[in-house]
Amino acid sequence: MERPAIVAALDGPRVALALSVATILLPVAFVVLTRAPLDQPFAKDVQLYVEAADRWLAGGPFYEPRQLSGPYEVTHGDILYPPVGLWLFAPASLLPLPMALVLWWTIPAAITAWAIRRVDPRPAVWPVMALCLAWPTTPLKIWTGNPVIWCIAAMAVAIVWRGGAVFALLKPSLFPFALFGIRQRSWWVGLVVFLALCLPFGAMWVDWLATVVNARGAGPLYSALEAPMLALPLVAWLGRRRE
């Protein structure tokens, strides 16, 4: 049975590549044409977490005292990530800042690219993947170095090895993605590894829970706009040409 002409055209590399490039360039064109300023400083988020980890390694608190004392309005500088994130933040704080920033972006980008290349998505899904990249929240979070880029890498690993999905819990508000592959044994192996990484932080989990409960302006759906970012590897997997 022949495929419809439009489906066959979209599955052609040239058409798919052209649509993908056009989609990715849309937000760039918007910024250029409207001269909209970038209202977020470069690497703002990653530097925040590196500084918090540096403070913690020096014997200070990871979470601000005002986050633990009672209700507070969430502002920049408030740490909402669980303490397991220190496995990423602490090593970054020990490196020279330029090296830490380079590795902060290149490692998750390389993991994501490797996994997507591994499943070899059909050209027909390239434009959808490009749409995930062009989604306004995606370039913003990449620009600021938000730790969610590591959650994307976790989901990228998950399309090859399901245990990687559990590590999307680095950002618990995106927990539905962490359930990908839950029926497979490898997912449970990943869960055991993740829980083992959580254990060393002991009472810090109580502090983290307090920061979440006390927070105002950061409800359970505050990360919903980041969902297309984590969907990128899943789109590639759905359109895969090989396991």
Domain ranges in the chain are 5-238
Under DSSP, is residue 37 helix (H, G, I), strand (E, B) or coil?
A: coil
pLDDT(2) > 50: no
Side-chain-side CA neighbours of 126 within 13 Å: the count stands at: 21
If one compares 222 and 8, the residue with the highest pLDDT of the two is: 222
Which two three-digit tokens encode residue 66? 């005002």
Q: What is the mean pLDDT of residues 212-232?
A: 82
What pLDDT sits at residue 41?
A: 83
Distances (CA, A) of 138 to 46, 87, 157, 202: 15, 23, 19, 33
Cβ distance 85 to 148 under 8 Å? no
8-state DSSP, 2: P
What pLDDT sits at residue 83?
A: 96
pLDDT(113) > 90: yes
Q: Round to whole Å and give the CA distance between 222 and 126.
A: 28
**Residue 192 CB: number of other CB atoms within 10 A?**
11
pLDDT band for 1, please (50, 70, 90 cuts).
very low
pLDDT in tens, 28-84: 665 555 555 556 789 999 999 999 999 999 999 999 999 998 898 888 888 999 999
Asked whether the CA dihedral 41, 213, 191, 89 is positive or negative, the reply is positive
pLDDT band for 12, please (50, 70, 90 cuts).
low
Whole-prediction pTM: 0.87
Cβ distance 63 to 174 under 8 Å? no
